[in-house]
Structure 1
């Protein structure tokens, strides 16, 4: 009993806690009510993907100490997706296909976001990020330019905020986002 009270968090506890932070931020009503993200299964997946991308991007900046942790976080996300599909009644045969499609969608989205954020050509970066968000996050709805601009600013702000957070704190399962 005392060992549990005074012991350091295990790696799996920290991964779980960080994942909960990501999910909590992705579920903020602000995104669905103010930034027109579709409040649907796809919209929620896209918000989780966006926040997971931002965290994985931050972790990758110090990959020499974060690679294993990042992999565990990724694995937890898709274990959670698998369980969520099963809870929604998707049969065993269908779950594997749906999770595979989700993984492919995840990789496509993070690739587009990464490319957009790493471009070095001034205003082209802004246009590229807006294009990536429009195509991926808002792909099923029409979004006003002003709303798309607000989402772009949110992503850029989170990227900066995460870059300023100590990697050991993030790997302890604590991260701070902003709205």
Structure 2
């Protein structure tokens, strides 16, 4: 799946409140303590960013699968870019350095999206390996398999939802449980 987002275009269709609500759900889910405590995702800026990208990929992938979701997915991506820019500035990154950092974020975003899309076509184990490489520092394959199962569960659940529910942001992420995963 190609990710031809252009963060310079502004959304025309999606209501700002819907975009903010969906993005808020993504950020909240990516900050869920379970991922860091039980799955061993590094609780660092990079670890949080990589988990945010996984959740962005899941949502954008589903939205882009519907013709009516293309505008919303673009608006969501634009909101993500604005949030990353704002975060850099809040962290004290100077105006001259922000574009370079944003370029690095963009490269990471597109790289992860391509890796997850390619892995998904190859199956569960390939998705687990991509997650292991991008989120878990090349370690913890059992954990990566659980995260791949979590991602597949989300995709399957959202595939059953109607467009109005998806476009209105009236859905949730699946519960992520690691109780039966070997440590």
Q: TM-score range by the shorter chain?
A: 0.7 to 0.9
* C-alpha distance in structure 1 between counterparts of 2:68 and 2:172, whole Å: 20
1:155 counterpart = 2:158: no
Larger Rg belongs to: 1
Q: Could you tell which deviates more after superposition, 50-59 or 130-139?
A: 130-139
Contact 1:16 1:173 in 2 (8 A): no
- What TM-score, normalized by structure 2, do the two folds share? 0.84
Contact 1:26 1:44 in 2 (8 A): yes
1:58 counterpart = 2:57: no
Contact 1:36 1:143 in 2 (8 A): no
Question: What residue ranges of structure 2 are gaps of 5+ in the alignment?
Answer: 1-13, 177-183
1:145 counterpart = 2:141: yes
* C-alpha distance in structure 1 between counterparts of 2:171 and 2:45, whole Å: 24
Question: What residue ranges of structure 1 are gaps of 5+ in the alignment?
Answer: 1-9, 120-124
Within the candidate set 114, 119, 129, 2:117 is matched to 114
Post-superposition, which runs of at least 4 consecutive aligned residues in structure 1 deviate over 6 A? none
Residues paired across the two proteins, number = 162
**1:166 Cα deviation after fit:** 2.2
- What TM-score, normalized by structure 1, do the two folds share? 0.85
- In the alignment, what sits opposite 2:36? 32
1:13 counterpart = 2:17: yes
Pick 1 or 2: higher relative contact order, CA cutoff 8 A, min separation 6.
1
